[in-house]
Amino acid sequence: MKTKKTDINVIKPENQLSLFGYDDYFDLWIRLLNTQKFPNCILLTGPKGLGKATFSYHFVNSILSKGESNEYSIKNHEINKNNFSYKQIISKTHTNFFTIDNDIFNEQIKIEQVRNLLKFLSKSTFSRDLKIVLIDNFEKFNLNSVNALLKAIEEPSYNTFFFIIHDNSYKISETIKSRCIEFKINFSESQKKHIFSQIIQPYEEECKSIDVQNNLYFDTPGNLLKKCLFLNKSKTKIKENSLNYTYFFLDQYLYEKNPLSLTFASFFIEKFYTELCFNNVTNLSIRFQNYSKILRQISDMKNFNLFEKNTLLYIKDILHHETR
């Protein structure tokens, strides 16, 4: 397939005015907060694309906007865009709120960001004693950043709250886990379909050709939305199998070095092997070995700067032999 530079624009979590699917979690957190049992450090884990960051920003807004004009609607789980705290949160000027994040194109959280967090914690605030820290993409913290963060969360003051978001609970150090209360976010397929039907509304024209029934079993609403927009922007036809999708995204990654392409390719590789094993139960051990080889190659390519063209050709060769 011919590739070209592709950019997609998805509403960022901090700009999402509506929240879907988190009613039970939200109500639980409100009860804990109102009874002064809310933990100082929360760890939110679960697959990327479930809306963990959006949920966190909504809860933060519900706290900081309380008593203000146009405050957060707990009943409807909606942020009022005219609210003062909301405007300060998205402009990163709120004196009671600090966030650490990086977009998908950055490899790691920088130690300077954590040092700025420590400075924030040491300062007094103007309006309230409350301090809230939201850390997204915690998996991108390097060891130095993790160690620096530990100092901040070991003995937090009673009025300081941390929201740490990570996509994989198994890759978090036990030292961090021991200092947090973990909430593992997961939704059923029907719940994911409902969430997707809501978040897709601003993009219905771009996403109308995606088969939600088939894809949401494997994927999350947020990831699926990004794939829809990515494929629409690249003018790629949807009516193709998992293997063709994989080849397309591997080529796209080689062309523009967009990590999102590699993420999508990995998803369709998983989908390809799931379908392959489901339809043909012979040689399952060999297929599992090949799938593991591919995952290892992708991981090594990202971590050790392997020669990308040769690595991707090797992956394609494995996949090609699976179809013989």
Per-residue pLDDT in tens (0 to 9) along the chain, 324 residues: 344 444 556 788 999 999 999 999 999 999 999 999 999 999 999 988 999 999 999 999 999 999 999 999 999 999 999 999 999 999 999 999 999 986 554 567 778 888 899 899 888 765 567 899 999 988 888 888 888 888 888 878 888 999 999 987 667 888 888 999 999 999 988 899 899 889 988 887 777 665 555 666 668 888 888 877 777 766 655 455 678 888 888 888 887 777 778 888 888 888 888 888 888 777 888 888 999 999 888 888 877 777 888 899 999 999 988 887
Q: What pLDDT digit, counting tens, does each position of 275-294 carry?
A: 888 887 778 888 889 999 99
CB atoms within 10 A of CB 73: 14
The C-alpha torsion from 208 through 214 and 220 to 223, rounded to 10°, is -50
Question: CA nearest 6: which of 313, 264, 300?
Answer: 264
In the three-class reduction of DSSP (H, G, I as helix; E, B as strand; rest coil), residue 184 is classed as strand
Provide DSSP, 95-111: TTEEEE---TT--SB-H
In the three-class reduction of DSSP (H, G, I as helix; E, B as strand; rest coil), residue 228 is classed as helix
Q: What separation, in Å, do the N-terminal and C-terminal C-alpha atoms of the chain show?
A: 21
Spell out the domain ranges in the chain: 13-184, 240-322
In terms of C-beta density within 10 A (0-12 exposed, 13-18 middle, 19 or more buried), how is residue 69 classed? exposed
Distance (Å, whole) CA 314 – CA 178: 41
Q: Beta partners for 162?
A: 41, 133
- Provide CB contacts within 8 A for 165, sequence distance 6+: 44, 45, 52, 53, 56, 134, 135, 136, 137, 138
Place of tokens 């997961």: 186
Which pLDDT score, from 0 to 100, does residue 235 have?
Answer: 60
Strands (E), 221-270: none
Residue type, 185: I
CB 270 within 8 A of CB 290: no
Q: Does domain 13-184 have CATH number 3.40.30.120?
A: no
Q: What pLDDT digit, counting tens, does each position of 47-79 carry?
A: 889 999 999 999 999 999 999 999 999 999 999
Which pLDDT score, from 0 to 100, does residue 19 have?
Answer: 96
